[in-house]
Amino acid sequence: MGIRLEFVGPAWKISAMNAIKVDDARRVRLPKLNPGDYYEPEYSEKEVVLRKVEPPIQKMSKEEILRAIDGSPLCFTKSWDELKDEVR
């Protein structure tokens, strides 16, 4: 489901949609969009289409990884630092 931003055309032509102004930071305010949602823009000559996408996956912190290792049913024979050195 995409939200379309139509190209208005020449200034003398009356458009049926409300005009949206881009500010100096290249931001657009759209009332139907929720804060925190992620949208991917698709560009063409006459329009910009926003497609809603899943939010990016957050990376785990070192503490979260250590807790996951401690709670895992697998038996780890190496410490965190030894695992880190092996991967790198």
> Could you read off the pLDDT of 23-75 as tens digits, one per residue?
899 888 888 888 889 999 899 888 888 899 998 888 999 999 889 888 888 87
Domain range for 70? 58-88
Indicate whether 62 and 49 sit together in one domain: no
Q: How far is CA 34 from CA 8, 26, 38, 52, 73, in A?
A: 24, 18, 9, 11, 40
Comparing 9 with 3, which gets the higher pLDDT?
3
In the chain, the number of structural domains is 2
Indicate whether 41 and 69 sit together in one domain: no
Q: 49 - beta bridge partners?
A: 4, 42
Indicate whether 50 and 79 sit together in one domain: no
d(Cα 85, Cα 28) in Å, to the nearest integer? Answer: 45
Indicate whether 67 and 50 sit together in one domain: no
Indicate whether 6 and 47 sit together in one domain: yes
Indicate whether 26 and 45 sit together in one domain: yes
